[in-house]
Amino acid sequence: MTVTDQPAPPPGALLEQTLEAAGIGLAWVDARGRLQRGSACFRRWVGAAATLFDCVHALDKDKWQDWQASPGEPRQLALRGPDGATLQVEAQLRPLAAGSDGLLALVLNPLDERRERHAIDILQREVLEAVASSRPLQVVMDLLCRRVEAMDAGVICTVLEIDREGRVHPLAAPSLPASFSSAIDGEPIGPQAGSCGTAAWRREPVEVRDIASDPLWERYRPLAQSFGLAACWSTPISLADGPVRATFALYYRQVRSVASFHRRMVEACAQLCQLALQHEDSQREIERLAYYDSVTGLPNRTLFTDRAQQALQMSQRLDRPSSLLLLDLDRFKTVNDSLGHAAGDEVLREVARRLNAALRDSDTLARLGGDEFVLMLPGCNALDALHVAQKLHAALSAPLQLDSGMRINLSASIGISTCPDDGQSFEPLLKHADIAMYEAKQAGRNCSRYFLASMNQSLDERLNLESELRQALSAGQLQLHFQPKLALADARVLGMEVLLRWPHPVRGWVPPDRFIPVAEECGLINALDAWVLEAACRQLRDWAEAGLPGLQLSVNVSALRFVQDDVAAHVQQQLQRHGLQASQLTLEITERLMLDERGRPHEQLLALDAMGVRLSVDDFGTGYSSLSYLKRLPVSEIKLDKSFVRDLDSDPDDRALASAVISIGQALDLSVVAEGVETEAQRETLLRLGCRIGQGWLFGRPMDAQAMAQWLRSRERAPA
């Protein structure tokens, strides 16, 4: 039998049979949503419904208008059957050709499980793509909600984030007005906090069929009802065993329980939410590592550079100044090296906290590394910046008690540069603030300095000096000079101070006060002082071999070297190597070394004392002058600074200070050596005040080894 052998059924009947066989519903509808005709299948599904609004869940006039505007796009609808049952279908609207009275054909395919799975697959793929391309969390969640709502027009979807304090914050609620989101933003989760708040509290899904009667909604009922929400199912989302991070919820405008298709969909959506949150966490962690300092949590250099550049661009656009402050902690290295890195980190965290507390929200504070902090102050001119710097000094000035119980005093040196005068972009401003900060250090630390154009020159000078000093040390161009220490009463020679000299081929004699601080700063001081110690010991041996045995030398050692190097071991090695007695050597140290009464420097002082090496405190009276350390540490000599000696006879204050230092020495049984004795009158006054030993041009200027040997010999020959 062929097709043409049978009488053909009328075209309408043929179409009905075909649709029935394919399980497809077909209806014709006008622009106002009125159903004009429907296939048998369609009528079975919707009964006597007269309009689409009667048989499609949650379809209203606006949605119908939207739909007509993009008719070809498939939509997922929930059809309401005559018996109240719901049927999920995929619907496509097709405008008909001209002459069909503006009617539209509606083709409906029931969503069976396979189709549902396919729809969920598509949703998953789309959302995963958005996650993988690092779209912001809110955008991803918004997409998720919209896709879920597109699958079922009867559903309203929301995602809420739960913060650490257990408060909710809407991440996405695309089909609810913004007023809904703002009404619930910041509300606490709890045992009766609507579906979402309760789900987060209980850590389990909460299904509320009827918001109007469910006690969980008591507090939020008026709110939900004012937005036409009748039922809500919420699922908590957490990562691993962590706290609940979000809730994913489906709302319905009718009282109803959850459709089985929705359960499958929510399962998939909960996983997607988890993934998106995990991705967000990883992104944040990557960002934290890349842009924040791990010790203080402050922005690092990379982030600061970016923010500072933005602030400077804004400044220029608004034609207003901005200032940059570079803050460097004073003597932080000593804390770090002597008390350990944990204590150093503690100090840095506390500094960050204090600085932050003293700033305005619009300011940016960052840690550049080490003990350097930088601040960008938008809209702040040079004078305001100085006020801020003063506030920062004050914030740091309170003593800091470490976890170990130890109390330390903090201070910082601050350099200030201002845009546009000192530079228009970040790099020159930072460079100029750095130069100004160095000037603040030079000025005695714990102070602030503005950048001045003349400072640029001094930076270049410093850098040149540093490289030339390195060269001089390695080329053996440095020399030792010696200055005698004598008994003030009878001019007996008691020892000599070793003073480093740098005869520079172009600059002439560079004074140690000029190059020692540069060496300390660039890390050359250890090598420099080690060279001085070796050369001094060698000289003692050479003199002994040349018939000048048993001389005593005082060698200056920088406080930094005690922190960074093993001075005691080096001294022992040099004494042995050159066959010297420990009593022939005195180390001159500064008061700042004595402040750390623990740690490496302190241990070394004790070791040197045990060896029999004498310790002398240089420039006594100019620094901290704490008596307590003199009592506790093995010091045998203090040197009265030449600034007190200079005006001894004309300035009663200096005389009083000198007298006090001498009395301290006597009380603690320490030798007191007066420095810079230039006149006979000074010698007599010192003797009268009780000082027994002196050093200065009155007796002898610093001289090289050969001159010193001659000087010593001439005294041996001179009649007593």
Ligand X SMILES: Nc1nc2c(ncn2[C@@H]2O[C@@H]3COP(=O)(O)O[C@H]4[C@@H](O)[C@H](n5cnc6c(=O)[nH]c(N)nc65)O[C@@H]4COP(=O)(O)O[C@H]3[C@H]2O)c(=O)[nH]1
The two beta strands, 156-162 and 104-110, are unpaired
- 626, HSE (Cβ side, Cα atoms, 13 Å): 13
**Contacts (Cβ under 8 Å, ≥6 apart) of 666:** 672, 690
Q: Which residues pair with 251 in a beta bridge?
A: 156, 232
Closest CA to 26 of 106, 112, 82, 97: 106
Residue 617: CB minimum distance to ligand X, A: 11
Q: Is 70 exposed, middle or buried (0-12, 13-18, 19+ CB in 10 A)?
A: exposed
Q: Which is nearer to ligand X, 205 or 700 (CB)?
A: 700
The interface region with ligand X, picked from 216-224, 507-515, 542-550, 576-584 by CB under 6 A, is 507-515
The interface region with ligand X, picked from 167-175, 277-285, 431-439, 550-558 by CB under 6 A, is 550-558
Phi and psi torsions of 201, nearest 5°: -65, -45
Is 236 one of the binding residues for ligand X (CB under 6 A)?
Answer: no
CA distance 354 to 288: 21
710-715: which pairs have CB atoms within 8 A and are 24 or more residues apart?
Answer: 711/484, 712/493, 712/548, 712/551, 713/548, 715/493
Is 618 one of the binding residues for ligand X (CB under 6 A)?
Answer: yes
Give, as ranges, the residues between 364 and 423 that touch ligand X (CB under 6 A). Answer: none
Q: How far apart are the first and last CA of the chain?
A: 152
Q: Residue 568 has which token pair?
A: 């005691």
Is 516 one of the binding residues for ligand X (CB under 6 A)?
Answer: yes
- 619, HSE (Cβ side, Cα atoms, 13 Å): 12
CB 538 within 8 A of CB 553: no
Q: Which amino acid is at 526?
A: N
Give, as ranges, the residues between 619 and 638 that touch ligand X (CB under 6 A). Answer: 619
Q: Which is nearer to ligand X, 202 or 462 (CB)?
A: 462
Q: Which is nearer to ligand X, 334 or 695 (CB)?
A: 695
Closest CA to 313 of 166, 424, 234: 424
Residue 321: CB minimum distance to ligand X, A: 41
The interface region with ligand X, picked from 127-135, 253-261, 456-464, 511-519 by CB under 6 A, is 511-519
Residue 482: CB minimum distance to ligand X, A: 10
- List the one residue from 326, 500, 589, 594 that touches ligand X (CB under 6 A): 500
Q: Which is nearer to ligand X, 450 or 620 (CB)?
A: 620
Q: Which is nearer to ligand X, 385 or 478 (CB)?
A: 478
Is 538 one of the binding residues for ligand X (CB under 6 A)?
Answer: no
Give, as ranges, the residues between 476 and 495 that touch ligand X (CB under 6 A). Answer: 483
# binding residues, ligand X (CB under 6 A): 24
Residue 668: CB minimum distance to ligand X, A: 21
Is 521 one of the binding residues for ligand X (CB under 6 A)?
Answer: no
- 130, HSE (Cβ side, Cα atoms, 13 Å): 21
Is 565 one of the binding residues for ligand X (CB under 6 A)?
Answer: no
Is 616 one of the binding residues for ligand X (CB under 6 A)?
Answer: no
181-185: which pairs have CB atoms within 8 A and are 24 or more residues apart?
Answer: 183/223, 184/160, 184/220, 184/223
Residue 531: CB minimum distance to ligand X, A: 9
Residue 317: CB minimum distance to ligand X, A: 51
Phi and psi torsions of 570, nearest 5°: -65, -40
Looking at residue 167, the DSSP 8-state letter turns out to be: B
- List the one residue from 305, 322, 558, 586 that touches ligand X (CB under 6 A): 558
The interface region with ligand X, picked from 102-110, 142-150, 510-518, 648-656 by CB under 6 A, is 510-518
Residue 702: CB minimum distance to ligand X, A: 5
Site string for ligand X, 669-708 (x = CB under 6 A): ------xxxx----------------xxx----x------
- List the one residue from 214, 371, 439, 529 that touches ligand X (CB under 6 A): 529
CB 188 within 8 A of CB 219: no
Give, as ranges, the residues between 576 and 595 that touch ligand X (CB under 6 A). Answer: 588
The H-assigned helical ranges of 60-136 are 61-69, 113-132
- List the one residue from 512, 517, 599, 623 that touches ligand X (CB under 6 A): 512
CA 427 to chain centre: 20
Residue 240: CB minimum distance to ligand X, A: 58
Site string for ligand X, 78-117 (x = CB under 6 A): ----------------------------------------
Residue 572: CB minimum distance to ligand X, A: 19
Is 532 one of the binding residues for ligand X (CB under 6 A)?
Answer: yes
Closest CA to 697 of 656, 645, 655, 659: 645
The interface region with ligand X, picked from 132-140, 253-261, 413-421, 555-563 by CB under 6 A, is 555-563
Q: How far is CA 92 from CA 67, 104, 106, 429, 593, in A?
A: 9, 10, 6, 64, 86
Give, as ranges, the residues between 442 and 461 that touch ligand X (CB under 6 A). Answer: none
User: If you search the block for the tokens 């040079």, which residue do you land on?
Assistant: 382
CB 495 within 8 A of CB 553: yes
Closest CA to 522 of 475, 436, 445, 459: 459
Q: Which is nearer to ligand X, 25 or 700 (CB)?
A: 700
Q: Which is nearer to ligand X, 234 or 558 (CB)?
A: 558
Is 513 one of the binding residues for ligand X (CB under 6 A)?
Answer: yes
Residue 393: CB minimum distance to ligand X, A: 27
**Contacts (Cβ under 8 Å, ≥6 apart) of 30:** 36, 101, 102, 103, 104
Residue 520: CB minimum distance to ligand X, A: 8
The interface region with ligand X, picked from 273-281, 385-393, 455-463, 552-560 by CB under 6 A, is 552-560
- List the one residue from 499, 585, 630, 640 that touches ligand X (CB under 6 A): 499
- List the one residue from 413, 556, 616, 659 that touches ligand X (CB under 6 A): 556
The two beta strands, 479-487 and 493-504, are antiparallel
Residue 680: CB minimum distance to ligand X, A: 13
CA distance 380 to 573: 57
Q: Which is nearer to ligand X, 513 or 680 (CB)?
A: 513
The interface region with ligand X, picked from 330-338, 445-453, 508-516, 564-572 by CB under 6 A, is 508-516
As a residue count, the chain comes to 720
Q: Which is nearer to ligand X, 415 or 702 (CB)?
A: 702
Handedness of CA 400, 401, 404, 409 (dihedral sign): positive
The interface region with ligand X, picked from 157-165, 313-321, 506-514, 599-607 by CB under 6 A, is 506-514
For ligand X, the binding residues (CB under 6 A) are 483, 499-500, 511-513, 516, 529, 532, 556-558, 588, 618-619, 642, 675-678, 695-697, 702
